[in-house]
Amino acid sequence: MVDAISTRLLDSVPDPTDFPPQENAPGLRKLDSTFRCTICGEVFDAPVTTRCGHCFCSGCLRPALALKQECPTCRKSTNEMHIRPNYVMEEAIMCWGESRTYILELIKREKEAAEAVSKAKASQRSHKRKRSGSTSSVEMLDCAPGPSSPRTPRRRQHSPRKHKAVDLTTVPSSDVDEDELSSINLNPKPNQIVPCPLCSKTVAYKDLNTHIDRGCKDFSKEKASETWSKILSKPPNKQKGKQRCYRKHSDSDDEQPLPLASYATLKDRQLREMLGDHGLPTQGDRSLLEQRHQRWVVFYNTNLDRSLPNRKSKSALRQELKKWEETHFKVKKPVVQDAKEHVKTHKSEFSKLVSIARGSQPQITSTIPSSVSPQPMSPG
Amino acid sequence: MDARLRRVNKEIADCKNDKTSSIKIEMIDESPFHLKGSFVGPEDTPYAGGKFEVDIVIPESYPFQPVKMKFLTKVYHPNVSSQSGAICLDILKDAWSPVLTLKSTLISLQSLLCSPEPNDPQDAEVAKHYMTSRGSFEQTARYWAQIYAGAPGGDGKAVKQVDDEVAIAGLEKAHVDQFESLGFPRGKVIDVLRRLNYRGANVAQITDDRIVEELLK
């Protein structure tokens, strides 16, 4: 029974072993494990880098550094100020998330096909030995966009928008498709949109020369006026500029990471105010308040380590916090403050329980309400 | 599913899939947070060939807090309590890191058996034994591995019960017989000699009077 439970649990957790081993699918297992945080074992969520170059989920590294200020991997000393978001990794794992299922699907299909073939062969000529399934997955890999595919097509995949422009200026390389070559018009019309051979920006053919003469820096008219109105309406704010340099990669102006609070120096009232400022519930005992705030700071700062389009809203973060609290504190029963009052209010329940206990009926357990603590039963 | 459970599941799966290492992890009851790990004693040590079982409890705040591990199999080792199986190893205490896993921790335990650290002992008596007489210590450790961890070699079954006690304590039969013949109960003699570390070079340093004094206490 234990084994059944464990296998059920194990099946539901995706991990690098979903892929065939190294000899059948070179690099795939390792690739999957490189995209995983060594603390939680999941594919990175809001990946960040320490100053020693190791990568973790922001939400894993921050609590770890709060306990001990060293890199969990190499033990070099580091602290929260050194954490930098890793946007390239973030993008890579998003792509991996999509392609992972696709690759697994391909592997599965290939395996099924191989099995069908071997079955058919076995039934056709029973004297011939069965083909082993392991060789087939290697064949399959050649068609999958894995690390084994040649280098040039991968580059193209990386920057599809810039691709044509590059081909215009350079000698058409072997990876240019036939139809792409034919689509390049050597005598474009004046109003036709063409990519600039230098900066790859698309401009009308008649404007191309002016564009290049200006060092590829000209804007369209609307854009120019937009920029000017922006400059004129918002005089540069010195303070904001200063703040921004802390987190210059992010485009957001007002979002700053929350500082860690030293709870020992905070009064209950101050702590409640801090929670209230972020729109969080303020009820609960001291340790719950502290843990709630601590967790909120982790959620909040983790969110800032995501690239702007991937950030969650504040209300989504609050929902996440609520969920976290529910899973972590549901086991704790409410503490009875006033024992006498408690006995009074639950008298009928207690007397019922007592009568059941005296009768020693077998269905006792089903009738006991879960919220009633057993201590007040003894005097009755 | 919370992060801790997911991680533990992955770790158990990882051990199941790894056929090259001798590390095994299994569940004791239905909770995935109370496990039993086991590994084979390292080669070229007194523990070679034995199967050592470890009780594993995964705390609430894992992986930010270290796992709790202790030996279920009795081990004669300076850094393992010969009574309770408690382990003295830095990564199980302040040198823990959240990237360490159940497997890597069990491998560390395995290597702890290769390289005892008597200057930071868990079991002071065993550490003293190790420091005074390596040969005698290894003999006792091997004997323990044979009777408790099922290590090969040693015709343990042929040896009489009384000699077992002497060998388990890592003492010389002649020494125990000598003091027993003075009229003291055998159990007490073994106890006192073990406590005084009456082994190897120490034998010459501890006078018979001192031992009798202890025996009379």
Q: Across the A/B interface, how many CB contacts are shorter than 8 Å?
A: 56
- What phi and psi, each to the nearest 5 degrees, are found at residue A108? -65, -45
Residue finishing a domain among B66, B90, B114: B114
> pLDDT at position A4, please?
47
Whether residue B147 is contained in a domain is answered as yes
A116/A202 same-domain check: no
Whether residue B155 is contained in a domain is answered as yes
How many Å lie between the alpha carbon of B117 and the closest alpha carbon of chain A?
Answer: 22
Range of the domain at B164: 124-216
List the one residue out of B211, B181, B215 whose CA is nearest residue B199: B211
How many Å lie between the alpha carbon of A311 and the closest alpha carbon of chain B?
Answer: 21
CA-nearest residue to A75 within chain B is B97
Whether residue B74 is contained in a domain is answered as yes
CB of A123 less than 8 A from some CB of B: no
List the one residue out of A108, A99, A109 whose CA is nearest residue A147: A99
Residue, of B113 and A333, whose pLDDT is higher: B113
Mean residue pLDDT of chain B comes to 88
> pLDDT at position A228, please?
61
B145/B85 same-domain check: no
Residues of A in contact with B16 (CB under 8 A): 10
Longest dimension (CA), chain A: 102
How many Å lie between the alpha carbon of B110 and the closest alpha carbon of chain A?
Answer: 21
Residues of B in contact with A6 (CB under 8 A): 12, 27, 32
Whether residue B119 is contained in a domain is answered as no
Split at pLDDT 50, 70, 90, the class of B158 is very low
B7/B108 same-domain check: yes
- Annotated catalytic residue: which of B88, B126, B145, B171? B88
Residue, of B20 and A200, whose pLDDT is higher: B20
Residue finishing a domain among B64, B79, B114: B114
List the one residue out of A38, B139, B115 whose CA is nearest residue B107: B115
Other C-beta atoms closer than 10 Å to the C-beta of A221 total: 8
> pLDDT at position B37, please?
93
Whether residue A184 has pLDDT greater than 70: no
Q: CA A104, CA B190: separation in Å to the nearest integer?
A: 64
Cα separations in angstroms, A365 against A335, A353, A378: 22, 10, 17
* Strand pairing category for A193-195 and A55-57: unpaired
Whether residue A141 is contained in a domain is answered as no
A229/A197 same-domain check: no
Contact (Cβ atoms closer than 8 angstroms) between residue B71 and residue B50: no
ipTM over 0.90: no
Mean residue pLDDT of chain A comes to 73
What is the dihedral sign for C-alpha A245, A251, A255, A256?
negative
B7/B101 same-domain check: yes
Range of the domain at A307: 221-240+255-328
> pLDDT at position B50, please?
92
Structure tokens at A335: 């503490």
B141/B184 same-domain check: yes
Looking up residue B79, the CATH number of its domain turns out to be 3.10.110.10
Q: Out of A157-166, A182-191, A316-325, B51-60, pick the least confident.
A: A157-166
CB of A186 less than 8 A from some CB of B: no
Instruction: Give percent of chain A above pLDDT 70.
Output: 62
List the one residue out of A324, A325, A306, A316 whose CA is nearest residue A257: A306
Looking up residue A100, the CATH number of its domain turns out to be 3.30.40.10
- In chain B, which residue ranges form alpha helices assigned H by DSSP? 3-17, 102-114, 124-132, 134-148, 161-168, 173-180, 186-195, 202-205, 208-216
Residue, of A179 and A344, whose pLDDT is higher: A344
Q: Out of A118-127, B134-143, B148-157, B171-180, pick the least confident.
A: B148-157
A180-194, A209-223, B114-128, B151-165: which is most confident: B114-128
A314-329 vs A286-304: helix crossing angle, rounded to 10 = 140
Instruction: Give percent of chain A above pLDDT 90.
Output: 20
Other C-beta atoms closer than 10 Å to the C-beta of B165 total: 14
Q: Is A204 helix (H, G, I), strand (E, B) or coil?
A: strand
Q: CA A58, CA B166: separation in Å to the nearest integer?
A: 57
A112/A259 same-domain check: no
* Contact criterion met (CB < 8 Å) for A17 and B13: yes
Split at pLDDT 50, 70, 90, the class of A92 is very high
Contact (Cβ atoms closer than 8 angstroms) between residue B24 and residue B106: no
pTM value is 0.66
Residues A362-377 pLDDT 10s: 554 544 454 444 444 4
Residues of A in contact with B98 (CB under 8 A): 38-39, 60, 64, 72
At A318, which amino acid appears?
R
**DSSP code per residue over A207-266:** GHHHHHHTTT----HHHHHHHHHHHHHSPPPHHHHHHHGGGTTS--SS--PPPPP-GGG-
Residue finishing a domain among B61, B88, B114: B114
Residues B125-156 pLDDT 10s: 999 999 988 999 999 999 999 999 988 875 54
B136/B87 same-domain check: no
Split at pLDDT 50, 70, 90, the class of A133 is very low
Q: Is B15 tagged catalytic?
A: no
A209/A229 same-domain check: no
B129/B191 same-domain check: yes
A203/A274 same-domain check: no
- In A125-149, which residue ranges form alpha helices assigned H by DSSP? 134-141
Split at pLDDT 50, 70, 90, the class of B116 is very high
List the one residue out of A211, A210, A167, A204 whose CA is nearest residue A189: A204
* Contact criterion met (CB < 8 Å) for B30 and A9: no
Structure tokens at A338: 């006033």
Residues of A in contact with B64 (CB under 8 A): 63-64, 67
The domain tally of chain B equals 2
Q: Is B59 helix (H, G, I), strand (E, B) or coil?
A: coil
List the one residue out of B124, B115, B12 whose CA is nearest residue B67: B12
> 3-state secondary structure string, B173-211?
HHHHHHHHCCCCCHHHHHHHHHHCCCCCCHHHHCCHHHH
Other C-beta atoms closer than 10 Å to the C-beta of A96 total: 18
Q: What integer is the mean pLDDT of A323-340?
A: 72
The domain tally of chain A equals 3
* Strand pairing category for B51-57 and B68-71: antiparallel
Q: CA A42, CA A143: separation in Å to the nearest integer?
A: 27
Q: Out of A10-19, A369-378, B196-205, pick the least confident.
A: A369-378
Q: What integer is the mean pLDDT of A203-213?
A: 79
Which of the residues A1, A5, A8, A10 would you substitute to probe the B interface, choosing the one with the greatest number of B C-beta atoms within 10 Å? A10
Whether residue A37 is contained in a domain is answered as yes
B175/B211 same-domain check: yes
Strand-pair partners of A70: A77
Q: Out of A224-233, B41-50, B147-156, pick the least confident.
A: A224-233
For residue B63, whether the previous peptide bond is cis, meaning omega lies within 30 degrees of 0, is: yes
Structure tokens at A221: 């008219």
